[in-house]
Structure 1
Amino acid sequence: MIEQVQQILKEGEGITVEFKTSRYELNKNTFESICAFLNRKGGHLLLGVTDSGTVEGIEEKKVQLLVDRLISLMNNPQKLSPTVYLIPEIVDLDGKKIIYLHIPESSQVHSTAGKIFDRNSDGDFNVTGNHSLVEHLYLRKANNFTESGIYKFLSLEDFRPDLIARVRKLASVRTSGHPWESMNDEELLRSAKLYRKDFKTGEEGFILAAVLLFGKDEIIQNILPAYKTDALVRIVNTDRYDDRLEVRTNLIESYDLLMDFIRKHLPDPFYLENDQRINLRDKIFREVIANTLVHREFLNSFPSRLVIEKEKVTIENWNKPYIPGIINPDNFYTHPKNPIVLELFKQIGRADELGSGVRNVFKYGKLYGKSEPVFKEGDIFTTIISIPNKYIFRDEGGDYRVTGSHAALEKEDKFDADTVNDAVNDAVNDAVNDAVKDRLKTELMEIIKNEGLSLPQLMKDLSVKRATAQRDMKILRDIGFIHFLGAPKTGKYMITKKLAQILKKS
């Protein structure tokens, strides 16, 4: 976050950046900038910074008061209409505290104190009395975001209350005291900007984004009969598929189904970052799946596709291109295609800021596969993720093999108990008797097969007593084959990088 803020300060004020001193209180025109950012391309608001980019900071006793006031006013329709729920962040720069607020482009036209503001490179300007500019603003919003289309005959009964309850819980777990905790279903939907009024036509109602997020399946298919995401595995049968999943449900459960499909068919290689195991697979595909669901043009009949092949995963979805071409992680413009859906995904922890999410995929993608990821923006947005050369999988007979990208590849290297036998025999002291060595090998195989085991699981699966299991784990830890990750009661014994390297060479 500090690096991002420093880069914004370096770039200076512009169409997407605004500085406010706000040393003791909010500047009077703060909400004019918030409104203008929402109405234009979104932007970054920094409080505690002069117009020239000098960081003066905010009086320390006032920092939390200003954060609370920002949140309160953004949820006050008298101050900002429609209201928004954004989370200001406190950033410490060389002992001076500033407030950073990222404001996404909105699919709606916003006003503050009854006035509509737009933005250009010179700052914020009031367009309320200019009917041509206001009309153009509404037209641009309507054309840019299909998620904001109003369906006036939708009612609360067309949505699934269990999904709304789930989102309420996920948001409260992620942010203690989240406003949605105390809201009923209709209040939550309105707070999430899923109900709107078109002030040009007078039409109002729930919008398409509400249907996609919370709609019953029959309602979704009635409105979008061609909507689906097709997930395929093409390793052996490249003309058709080895496995297939058609997803036609809401975006929240679509995310779960597609992540389960990824976990079923793709490896999770062992990787340590600062002595903590990082799930590279989930780190990458959490972002990729969220982007596939969120940043698509839903009214086009082209289905989204996720195809797992021998050396790569390719994801495609229909798109309204902003800047066509290959995305460079070091220099790209974040342009959310469906900001309302994106914002809800962020509130429940399913997505990060668009820029940070893409950068994470590049960062971990190069560690995961043979080459770095590719993001290509066009009428069809294409994402390509390279997958590892080798990983361990369990075959139908219960043996483990080191193979290529999929269990069904023709050439496989046998990885059975002999590999572990040799490793244990080479590393364990000769004073340890053969019976103990055999048990250690069995325990180590179980840890490998299950990608980690807790002590209770180990005792249960292998029918060993606690004292015996504890002694065995100490031996395996002493020779550097396993380590313990997590809390004492819920953590697991995992293989170390040392053992992973031994298995990889076998």
Structure 2
Amino acid sequence: MVLPDTLLSLIKQGESLTVEFKKSTTEITSDVYETVCSFSNREGGHIFLGVKDSGDIIGVNKDCVDQMKKNFVTVINNRNKLNPPLYINPIDYEFKGKTVIYIQVPRSQSVCRCRGRIFDRNYDSDLDITDNEGLVYQLYARKQDTYYVNKVFPIFSVTDLRHDLIDRARNMSGMRTPKHPWQYMTDLEMLRSAGLILTDTSTGNEGITLAAILLFGPDALIVSALAHHKTDAIFRVFNTDRYDDRDVIITNLFESYDRLIAFGQKHLNDLFVTEGMQSISARDKILREIVSNSLAHRNYANAYVAKLVIEKDRIYTENSNRSHGFGNLDPSSFEPFPKNPPISKVFREVGLADELGSGMRNTYKYTKLYSGAEPIFTEGDVFRIIVPLHEAATVVVGPTKVPKSHDDTLDDTLDDTLDDTLELKILSLIQKNPRINQRELSDQLATSLSTIKRVMTGMIQANVLTRKGGKRYGYWEIEAKE
């Protein structure tokens, strides 16, 4: 086929944000795939093989055309080379007796990686931005144009929500901002203004969103809309194999916030701290930031159980995350990106959170006052915040134990009861999936891996359980009782 005038015109205009020339006369060089990646991550683009940087058409060796096209298709469909795989068909054209291979790269809906690296397009160059946290955040921001919490449920309406919670949000907004517009709106108007009532683009039907249900729904409605919604609060200071206290929270976000804050206040001492000349509760400030972050920014599409864990030397939170980069965040270069805008908006309006990005700054500020250390924010598929603690934060003041002999008896009884219960749960999961591994058991039972290993070792020694096959491909077998 003859090179079309439209493509010839692109060549004459020279390299740009969306046009790239590659000499590649006998084989496709690796930098071609970097350009494919960068175009995919930006606005898409046009690659011409057999064209010099100057725009001069030198042509591809005609004997190599078919093999080059086959090699290209093979590589872009290989996840180890390009991820996600792309489906592009290179076309060869003739121009004055010379062959040009033309590759049109579409804009991808997700971030593309070439050999594990992220490339973006900047004018006429391909930039490796993998280690540039700010640029990676911006790239993810461009890609994300929909939010899972905007999922519409046309079968539910405002009348299915808890009006006491809506009234609570209305009152809180008025306390934060006198004469707040929500004070004068009906429930329906208030939810519309917050973006919690939308139209399902696939059906054209209007309904409340998942965000509305999570914020204001009764527990039964939340379970029906998002069965895996749960936050696990754990205090693990003395009994490090299990926990000393626990609250499994399956309710709306307002009451989830209340219970998580109360759990932290229950187990963390409120150390005397001053900010300037004023005494403040740095503990409460930290809890507010990390709890609101976990609730407002988690990826609700993922079933990973969110956690708030208090240990002797740290507090940490974990929640599933639609990541916009990987690794520890630097507050000096951090660029915030909204992950659940409608939930974040409500949290800001009622005073449970401040402007986007302020949470990290406040957590740094108050952690330094509370423990003298710095928190760690780690971005990834699971988002983690680790707040180091001073020993005084979790120390128990006053008598906490009954006489030793009585205490030992209680501990032994409790240990036996917990172990028996855990054994039954383990056996139940193994019956369903004999190839389940111990880490999967730990995750599904919300129990430490060391505890799972200890209990299962006892089960093996008691001839309750047997391991068949190797560690990687083996399976569990439950022994029959005599």
Aligned pair partner of 2:287 in 285, 288, 304: 285
Cα contact 2:273–2:370 (8 A) shared by 1: no
1:181 alignment partner AA: Q
Gaps of 5+ in 2: 1-120, 124-140, 402-482
2:398 alignment partner AA: D
Aligned pair partner of 1:141 in 119, 138, 145: 145
Cα contact 1:306–1:315 (8 A) shared by 2: yes
* Correspondence for 1:18: none
Gaps of 5+ in 1: 1-119, 123-136, 399-506
Aligned pair partner of 1:335 in 331, 334, 337: 337
What whole-Å deviation, never above 9, does each CA across 1:149-193 have from its counterpart, x for those lacking one?
A: 111111122200000011100001111111111111111111111
* Correspondence for 2:306: 304
1:395 aligns with 2:392: no
* Correspondence for 2:351: 349
TM-aligned CA distance change 1:220 to 1:199, over 3 Å: closer
In 2, the alpha carbon distance for the partners of 1:243 and 1:367 equals: 26
Cα contact 1:314–1:383 (8 A) shared by 2: yes
* Correspondence for 1:325: 327
Cα contact 1:326–1:377 (8 A) shared by 2: yes
In 1, the alpha carbon distance for the partners of 2:144 and 2:332 equals: 29
Q: CA deviation at 1:388?
A: 1.6
What is the TM-score normalised by the length of structure 2? 0.52
1:185 alignment partner AA: D
Counterpart secondary structure, 1:206: strand
* Correspondence for 1:295: 297
Q: CA deviation at 1:389?
A: 2.1
2:306 alignment partner AA: S
Counterpart secondary structure, 2:357: helix
Q: CA deviation at 1:393?
A: 4.6
Counterpart secondary structure, 2:183: helix
Q: CA deviation at 1:354?
A: 2.3
TM-aligned CA distance change 1:191 to 1:342, over 3 Å: same
1:285 alignment partner AA: L
Q: Percent identity?
A: 44
Cα contact 1:370–1:389 (8 A) shared by 2: no
Counterpart secondary structure, 1:390: helix
In 2, the alpha carbon distance for the partners of 1:289 and 1:138 equals: 27
Aligned pair partner of 2:385 in 379, 383, 387: 383
In 2, the alpha carbon distance for the partners of 1:182 and 1:204 equals: 23
TM-aligned CA distance change 1:182 to 1:240, over 3 Å: same
Cα contact 1:233–1:309 (8 A) shared by 2: yes
RMSD, matched Cα: 2.4
1:246 aligns with 2:258: no
1:141 alignment partner AA: D
2:181 alignment partner AA: P
Matches within 5 A, 1:220-239: 220-239=222-241
* Correspondence for 1:189: 191
* Correspondence for 1:8: none
* Correspondence for 1:270: 272
Cα contact 1:368–1:386 (8 A) shared by 2: no
In 2, the alpha carbon distance for the partners of 1:269 and 1:362 equals: 17
* Correspondence for 1:44: none
Counterpart secondary structure, 1:323: coil
In 2, the alpha carbon distance for the partners of 1:176 and 1:258 equals: 28
In 2, the alpha carbon distance for the partners of 1:390 and 1:243 equals: 19
Q: CA deviation at 1:275?
A: 1.2
In 1, the alpha carbon distance for the partners of 2:337 and 2:179 equals: 30
TM-aligned CA distance change 1:198 to 1:224, over 3 Å: closer
Q: CA deviation at 1:199?
A: 4.7
What whole-Å deviation, never above 9, does each CA across 1:305-344 have from its counterpart, x for those lacking one?
A: 1111110011100001012211111111101110110010
* Correspondence for 1:178: 180
Matches within 5 A, 1:66-105: none
In 2, the alpha carbon distance for the partners of 1:148 and 1:256 equals: 24
What is the TM-score normalised by the length of structure 1? 0.50
Cα contact 1:159–1:214 (8 A) shared by 2: yes
Counterpart secondary structure, 1:230: strand
In 1, the alpha carbon distance for the partners of 2:345 and 2:322 equals: 19
* Correspondence for 1:165: 167
In 2, the alpha carbon distance for the partners of 1:213 and 1:389 equals: 36
What whole-Å deviation, never above 9, does each CA across 1:65-122 have from its counterpart, x for those lacking one?
A: xxxxxxxxxxxxxxxxxxxxxxxxxxxxxxxxxxxxxxxxxxxxxxxxxxxxxxx999
Q: CA deviation at 1:276?
A: 0.6
Counterpart secondary structure, 1:361: helix
Cα contact 1:362–1:373 (8 A) shared by 2: yes
Q: CA deviation at 1:205?
A: 1.2
Aligned pair partner of 2:152 in 142, 150, 153: 150
Matches within 5 A, 1:466-477: none
Q: CA deviation at 1:274?
A: 1.9
* Correspondence for 1:359: 361
Counterpart secondary structure, 2:391: coil
Q: Which moved more, 1:153-162 or 1:209-218?
A: 153-162
Cα contact 2:312–2:391 (8 A) shared by 1: no
Cα contact 1:251–1:293 (8 A) shared by 2: yes
Aligned pair partner of 1:260 in 262, 280, 292: 262
What whole-Å deviation, never above 9, does each CA across 1:402-441 have from its counterpart, x for those lacking one?
A: xxxxxxxxxxxxxxxxxxxxxxxxxxxxxxxxxxxxxxxx
2:158 alignment partner AA: L
Q: CA deviation at 1:300?
A: 1.1
Cα contact 1:362–1:372 (8 A) shared by 2: yes
Larger Rg: 2
Q: CA deviation at 1:200?
A: 6.1
Aligned pair partner of 1:209 in 191, 211, 218: 211
In 1, the alpha carbon distance for the partners of 2:152 and 2:396 equals: 48
1:296 alignment partner AA: R
In 1, the alpha carbon distance for the partners of 2:400 and 2:315 equals: 27
Q: CA deviation at 1:397?
A: 7.2
Cα contact 1:194–1:206 (8 A) shared by 2: yes
In 1, the alpha carbon distance for the partners of 2:175 and 2:327 equals: 38
Counterpart secondary structure, 1:141: coil
2:184 alignment partner AA: S
Q: CA deviation at 1:396?
A: 4.2
In 1, the alpha carbon distance for the partners of 2:198 and 2:143 equals: 15
The number of residues matched between the two structures is 263
